Amino acid sequence: MEKVVSLAKRRGFVFQSSEIYGGLNGCWDYGPLGVEMLNNLKQAWWRSMTFRDDVEGVDASILMHPKVWEASGHVANFTDPMVDCKQCKSRYRVDVLMDELNTKKKKDVLREMFPGQFDGQQPDEKIVAEFAARIATDETVAQAVRILACPNCGTKGSFTEARQFNLMFKTFVGPVEDSNNVVFLRPETAQGIFVNFLNVQSASRQKLPFGIAQIGKAFRNEINTKNFLFRTREFEQMEMQYFVKPGEEDRFFEYWREERMKWFLELGMKPENLQWHKHEKLAHYAKAAFDIEFKFPFGWGEVEGIHSRTNFDLSQHEQFSGKSLKYFDEQSKEKFVPYVIETSVGASRSFMAFLCASYDEEMVAGADGEAGEVRTVLHLHPKLAPMKAAILPLVNRDGMDDLARNLTKDLQKYFRVFYDDSGAIGRRYRRQDEIGTPYCFTVDSQTLTDQTVTVRERDSMKQERIAMSAVRDYLLERI
Ligand code: GAP
């Protein structure tokens, strides 16, 4: 993880927000290469979602009517249980506190909480795992935090009772900062889709089943931000709500699960680095929920949720707004509130997953029998790579630089490509490997006579000659 974070900063993928002021916890800035890659990722999602007949796009505002969040349940329920250490004032989310206990400590806590229950035996792994799964919600939490030692100062029994903490950021519209003017920064993009359901349906004349997709910022005042871009306070989501006739939700749930897993695989993720996590405990309105998890360097973590949400959200908005959100089915002449399948993926979190998945250090042979060296390479899918190609004149004279400059200008009409004429050619290749550039085109002395260039492929490091006039199509085909 440290290596990925360090490369991300050094090569301009991701910087700490307001770094010169010491940073702002849970906020990150995308640098020149990061913004290209993030845009590529969002573009890949947008194309896969909306370049089809049955999904429309929207871009709703971040600030919405405050009633939206009452209807959605976020005002009442979007909370995390939290405790403070009375000794050192550190604040912890209870489930994180429990997660950070190692297995031995969990066993000790269990033995202390349930004296006599284990007959002097250690509780086995299964009991510990069950305990860990229940811990965020049930009454054992209160007991557990009374016993735990603070990870920061080590004081035992120093935690306050768990309190609920709402994760939405509040602000005010207009000049008067009172409770009548409170609005929230949206904690998810989904509600901007629900409230526009009928607008989109009537404007686009879509019939069920159809979906609405949106990419945008979301904000959560997470108590514990951690692991780089994994859990941040400001992030981007790519969400799609697919509206179906009641009774058809199970079929489309399976369809979207398959589609979404395919998306990650087609962008180069290895199947062994992805897994499904089924939610056993469902919200009262939910029919089913699965997460796609990625194997991050720190362990498995959710990157996307696929949820079968019944007609809960639309019905709530009907009730709170007093406006009908029913769909009129022309075939059956019936009016009803559609059911919804949601796919919800973090753009920032999956950006990090693709960075981690592609990072590699490989031993490569040195030139002319010299000792080998380690090359750092990002095996990014060409669609995601921030630079699609580098154009390199072998030397800076004899017209090679002019040819290379002209080729760069031509290609820049279509792709983000990079011209580099400084340093030995091997060093230039390595610099491109490190940022995931899939192809390097080198203009050399042969180019001057036959107008061909060498193309060097990042992963295999193989080289071949192609006509300079074929470079654009070569890239188009592969990207
Ligand atoms: N509308 C449903 C929804 O928002 P979620 O599971 O809370 O569901 C969906 O969030 C996705 O958004 C997650 O799988 C994750 O990729 C991303 N996400 C959620 N909270 C995040 C955070 N604090 N930082 C970065 N990404 C986050």
168-190: pLDDT as tens digits = 999 999 999 998 899 999 999 99
Do the beta carbons of residue 439 and residue 392 sit within 8 Å? Answer: no
Tell me: do 176 and 290 sit in the same domain: yes
Residue 158 domain-assigned?
yes
* β-pair partners for 374: 363
Last residue of a domain, which of 356, 372, 396?
A: 356
Structure tokens at 281: 């405990």
d(CA 356, CA 379): 10
Position 223 scores a pLDDT of 81
Most confident of 156-160, 369-373, 468-472: 468-472
Tell me: do 101 and 74 sit in the same domain: no
The string of DSSP letters for 90-120 reads -EEEHHHHHHHS-HHHHHHHHHHHSTTTTTT
Tell me: do 275 and 221 sit in the same domain: yes
32-36, 116-120, 285-289, range with the lowest pLDDT: 116-120
The string of DSSP letters for 367-436 reads GGGPPPEEEEEE---TTT-S-SEEEEESSS-TTHHHHHHHHHHHHTTTS-EEE--SS-HHHHHHHHHHTT
pLDDT at residue 465 tops 70:
yes
pLDDT band at 131 (very low <50, low <70, confident <90, very high): low
Do the beta carbons of residue 430 and residue 375 sit within 8 Å? Answer: yes
Last residue of a domain, which of 356, 379, 405?
A: 356
- How far, in Å, is the centroid of ligand 1 from the Cα of 273? 19
**φ, ψ of residue 412 in degrees (nearest 5):** -65, -10
Give the CATH number, domain containing residue 427.
3.40.50.800
pLDDT at residue 149 tops 90:
no
As a whole number of angstroms, the longest Cα–Cα distance in the chain is 88
Position 88 scores a pLDDT of 93
Residue nearest to atom 18 of ligand 1 (CA): 346
d(CA 386, CA 404): 20
Residue nearest to atom 4 of ligand 1 (CA): 188
- How far, in Å, is the centroid of ligand 1 from the Cα of 398? 55
Return the best residue to mutate from 235, 308, 354 for the ligand 1 pocket (most ligand atoms within 8 A of CB): 235
Do the beta carbons of residue 7 and residue 356 sit within 8 Å? Answer: no
pLDDT band at 408 (very low <50, low <70, confident <90, very high): very high
Tell me: do 272 and 345 sit in the same domain: yes
pLDDT band at 136 (very low <50, low <70, confident <90, very high): very low
- How far, in Å, is the centroid of ligand 1 from the Cα of 303? 8
The structure tokens 């000049």 sit at 175
Position 281 scores a pLDDT of 86
Tell me: do 300 and 244 sit in the same domain: yes
- How far, in Å, is the centroid of ligand 1 from the Cα of 384? 21
Could you tell me what percent of the chain has a pLDDT over 90?
A: 77
Q: How far is CA 409 from CA 40, 275, 326, 414, 425, in A?
A: 21, 43, 53, 10, 21
- How far, in Å, is the centroid of ligand 1 from the Cα of 325? 26
d(CA 9, CA 433): 16
Position 469 scores a pLDDT of 97
Residue nearest to atom 7 of ligand 1 (CA): 188
Do the beta carbons of residue 120 and residue 111 sit within 8 Å? Answer: no
Structure tokens at 432: 């491109």
14 or 148, higher pLDDT: 14
Count of beta carbons in the 10 Å neighbourhood of residue 448: 12
Calculate the average pLDDT of the chain: 92
Q: What is the mean pLDDT of residues 21-30?
A: 96
Residue nearest to atom 2 of ligand 1 (CA): 344
Tell me: do 115 and 187 sit in the same domain: no
Note the pLDDT tens digit of each residue in 270-329.
999 999 999 998 888 899 999 999 999 999 999 999 999 999 999 999 999 999 999 999
Residue 180 domain-assigned?
yes
Give the CATH number, domain containing residue 116.
3.30.40
Residues in contact with ligand 1 (CB, 6 Å cut-off):
188, 190, 220, 222, 231-232, 235, 237, 239, 302-305, 342, 344-346, 348-349
Q: How far is CA 141 from CA 24, 94, 96, 122, in A?
A: 30, 8, 12, 20
d(CA 352, CA 230): 7
Q: What is the mean pLDDT of residues 364-380?
A: 82
Residue 362 domain-assigned?
no
- How far, in Å, is the centroid of ligand 1 from the Cα of 41? 16
Q: What is the mean pLDDT of residues 62-79?
A: 95
Structure tokens at 261: 């897993």
Do the beta carbons of residue 384 and residue 266 sit within 8 Å? Answer: no
- How far, in Å, is the centroid of ligand 1 from the Cα of 113? 33
Structure tokens at 455: 């193309």
pLDDT at residue 335 tops 50:
yes
Do the beta carbons of residue 149 and residue 83 sit within 8 Å? Answer: no
Residue nearest to atom 17 of ligand 1 (CA): 346
Residue 275 domain-assigned?
yes
Position 283 scores a pLDDT of 85
Q: Domain range spanning residue 273? A: 2-78+168-356
- How far, in Å, is the centroid of ligand 1 from the Cα of 282? 16
Ligand 1 atom with least separation from CA of 190: 1
pLDDT at residue 381 tops 70:
yes
Residue 67 domain-assigned?
yes
Q: Total structural domains in the chain?
A: 3
Q: How far is CA 157 from CA 96, 137, 162, 163, 441, in A?
A: 17, 20, 13, 16, 64
d(CA 77, CA 219): 16
Tell me: do 216 and 282 sit in the same domain: yes
Tell me: do 162 and 203 sit in the same domain: no
pLDDT at residue 369 tops 70:
no
Do the beta carbons of residue 277 and residue 291 sit within 8 Å? Answer: yes
Position 114 scores a pLDDT of 67
Position 61 scores a pLDDT of 98
pLDDT at residue 101 tops 80:
no
Last residue of a domain, which of 148, 166, 184?
A: 166
What is the distance between the terminal CA atoms of the chain, rounded to a whole angstrom? 28
Residue 377 domain-assigned?
no
- How far, in Å, is the centroid of ligand 1 from the Cα of 345? 7
Return the best residue to mutate from 41, 74, 186, 188 for the ligand 1 pocket (most ligand atoms within 8 A of CB): 188
Q: What is the mean pLDDT of residues 367-381?
A: 84
- How far, in Å, is the centroid of ligand 1 from the Cα of 157? 33
Ligand 1 atom with least separation from CA of 302: 14
The dihedral through the CA atoms of 272, 274, 276, 282 has a sign that is: positive
Tell me: do 347 and 399 sit in the same domain: no
Residue 367 domain-assigned?
no
81-85, 113-117, 248-252, range with the lowest pLDDT: 113-117
Q: How far is CA 304 from CA 57, 161, 313, in A?
A: 19, 32, 19
Q: What is the mean pLDDT of residues 387-394?
A: 98
pLDDT band at 141 (very low <50, low <70, confident <90, very high): low
Residue 199 domain-assigned?
yes
- How far, in Å, is the centroid of ligand 1 from the Cα of 279? 15
Burial 229-251 (b: 16+ CB within 10 A, else e): bbbbbbbbbbbbbbbbbeeebee
Residue nearest to atom 10 of ligand 1 (CA): 344
* β-pair partners for 274: 294
Return the best residue to mutate from 25, 224, 349 for the ligand 1 pocket (most ligand atoms within 8 A of CB): 349
Tell me: do 226 and 333 sit in the same domain: yes
CB neighbours of 26 closer than 8 A, spacing ≥ 6?
A: 222, 225, 231, 232, 233, 234
Q: What is the mean pLDDT of residues 59-88?
A: 93
Look up residue 133 and give its amino acid. A
d(CA 11, CA 14): 8
Residue nearest to atom 16 of ligand 1 (CA): 346
Tell me: do 188 and 308 sit in the same domain: yes
Return the best residue to mutate from 41, 225, 344, 348 for the ligand 1 pocket (most ligand atoms within 8 A of CB): 344
Tell me: do 172 and 150 sit in the same domain: no
